[in-house]
Chain A
Amino acid sequence: MLAPKLGSRRGLVLACGLNPRYSKIDPAAMAECALDEAMRNLVAAGGDPENTAVLDNYCWGNTGREDQLGGLVRASFALRDLALVLRTPFVSGKDSLNNEFRDGERTIAIPGCILVTALSVIPDVARTLTTDLKRAGNLLVLVGSTKRELGGSAYWKALGHLGASVPRVDAAQAKKNLDMVARAIAARAVRSAHDLSEGGLLVAAAEMAIGGRLGFELDLAAVPTSGMPGEATAADAALRPDEVAFSESQSRFLLEVEPDRLEDLRVNLFEVPWAVVGRVTNERTLVIQRQGHDLARVDLDAAVAAWKQPLDLDGTLTESRR
């Protein structure tokens, strides 16, 4: 959030979306998910989805190769199709093509990816939201439908897999989710909001707890798994707890809502799947349950320590500690 004009509360909300791993499965999914992520990120921060412009930044491998060029075309069409439904004009962008390098016999190309940046003008920066949990006793509300979409996810990555069931965006539903959550936020029914992205529900919830230094109890059985509440299909009902916890299905939000504002939330979430999935606690513990049974308990301080740990992508930090 920026308030660039001194003396004015008019401001800008800036948000980004980027998922290079999805591109290893399908560049079209990567592209639409980048736009969806930027938009839900923007809405969670208090942006107005009806007053938003977007930018595309392409990074691609050797577009002289047929598969690379084909991926670029597929990604561009997917981006266009979703932008038309979301009513978000691409006002600018940039590309960096032919990111391919030769090392002896080996050719290394980056996965083609698009960074989408969304920019919304808002009348008052005091109406923006942060992700940190605010108060024990508040409810956690999940908006959007969770499907078995773990291809390219952080969860599979942590287990050493890529997967195949890459998340896709249901454009019409995405538009509804964005608009309704924005409406609920404008009605001041929401205290904190976070989009569900890399790592899915549990990572988003943990980030909110870490930000607010508060705990939560979350029931995975309460998560809406497909379509409207009560319309779960047999296949969806069979989602494993880890799939519900770490699926990266798009167009989802986790909201913190004061119990006496739940009715205000309800009237604003029209034609959108949602459910109360947990509550904020003073316990400094992240409790993940399924139908009342504990699946995991994570100490908040341990979560904070893990979150603060530097990235160690090439293992050098672990080496030097030995």
Chain B
Amino acid sequence: MNTPHVLVLRAPGINCERETLDAFARVGARPEFVHVKRLLGEPELLTRAAILVFPGGFAYGDDIAAGRVLATELRARLGDRLLAFVDGGGLVLGICNGFQALVRLGLLPRMSGELRQEVTLTYNLSNHYECRWVTLRSCQSRCVFVPDGWTMRCPAAHGEGLLLTSDAQQRSMLAHEGYVVFRYVDGQGHATEAYPANPNGSPDGIAGLTDLSGRVLGLMPHPDRAYLPHHMPDWQRHGLAPAGDGLVLFESMVKAANV
């Protein structure tokens, strides 16, 4: 059995690390917390890991902007190591605030191949924090561990989830060159920009992105809040399923990891 070593990042303000670790433990991985200061001091930890995870929360209080301080710190002091990790076959997952940090760090979408910020995640069109269940559908993408056609319900909980590109050309590149992994869909299963099925107004319904290599995934909603059967919102109507919708993402990532 594939039992990849997973590093679950901790930093001041990150607050979803326990459930994220638990989800990985349930699908046969060997997850371990690693504090950002420890990782900066011992970057060789990355060489022993197959998966690096940026959990949700409010890293460094989201000072300046969501995920900004963590992203800047990691890019300045660990940038080359992170690129080497991804280029060497390592997988990276960023959930919610982790996604925001990956975007500011430049690991997503990294269309240029360089470690610099290309797009941004900013204030929801509703202008306030949104906390609600959303439905995601995966599309055909570069991502090596998310196939086309998954439907996954999980909670979104963010104030800054609106994806903005620098121009229309860049946005079209995201869509047409396989950088978009997840989209918010409406009741009919169609990608949507309409509130509330799309909680932040992201163009083209974009909820999650991958990078050039397909080994990095960031998404705004929380599969880590939908991996147990009783996490789901309607089990009392339909009975408990064997697992929550989000578990399949962790499973698939673990299967795809290099041990």
Which residues of A come within 8 Å of B, CB atoms?
Answer: 3, 6-7, 9, 125-126, 128-130, 132, 134, 192, 212
Contacts and interface: CB of A to CB of B under 8 A. Distances in A.
A213 to B, nearest CB: 10
Given A126-B230, A132-B237, A134-B237, 18 more contacts: A3-B228, A3-B230, A6-B18, A6-B19, A6-B22, A7-B22, A9-B230, A125-B230, A126-B229, A126-B235, A126-B240, A128-B236, A129-B236, A130-B236, A132-B236, A134-B236, A192-B236, A212-B237
A293 to B, nearest CB: 33
- Which residue, A126, A128, A134, A192, has most C-beta atoms of chain B within 10 A? A126
Contacts of A126: 229-230, 235, 240
15 contacts: A3-B228, A6-B19, A6-B22, A7-B22, A9-B230, A125-B230, A126-B229, A126-B230, A126-B240, A128-B236, A129-B236, A130-B236, A132-B237, A134-B236, A134-B237
B195 to A, nearest CB: 15
Interface string B235-254: 11100100000000000000
Nearest to A135: B237
Interface of B: 18-19, 22, 228-230, 235-237, 240
A130 to B, nearest CB: 5
Nearest to A3: B230
Contacts of A7: 22
Nearest to A7: B22
Contacts of B18: 6
A132 B236 CA distance: 9
Nearest to B237: A134
Contacts of B229: 126
Main SS class of interface, B: helix
Contacts, number: 21
B26 to A, nearest CB: 9
B53 to A, nearest CB: 16
Contacts of A3: 228, 230
A316 B184 CA distance: 35
Contacts of A212: 237
Nearest to B239: A126
B25 to A, nearest CB: 9
Nearest to B228: A3
Contacts of B235: 126
Contacts of A132: 236-237
Residue of B19, B230, B235 ringed by the most chain A CB atoms within 10 A? B230
B84 to A, nearest CB: 33
Nearest to A132: B237
Contacts of A128: 236
A192 B228 CA distance: 22
A134 B235 CA distance: 11
A212 B238 CA distance: 12
A195 B144 CA distance: 50
Nearest to B236: A130
Nearest to B25: A7
A314 to B, nearest CB: 22
A144 B183 CA distance: 49
Q: Which among B22, B228, B236, B240 has the highest number of chain A CB atoms within 10 Å?
A: B236
Nearest to A9: B230
B234 to A, nearest CB: 9
B183 to A, nearest CB: 26
A134 B228 CA distance: 22
Contacts of A125: 230
Contacts of B236: 128-130, 132, 134, 192
A212 B236 CA distance: 11
The residue among B19, B22, B237, B240 with the most chain A CB atoms within 10 A of its own CB is: B237
Nearest to B240: A126
A310 B230 CA distance: 30
Nearest to A1: B230
A192 B234 CA distance: 13
A129 B237 CA distance: 10
Nearest to A6: B22
B107 to A, nearest CB: 28
Contacts of B228: 3
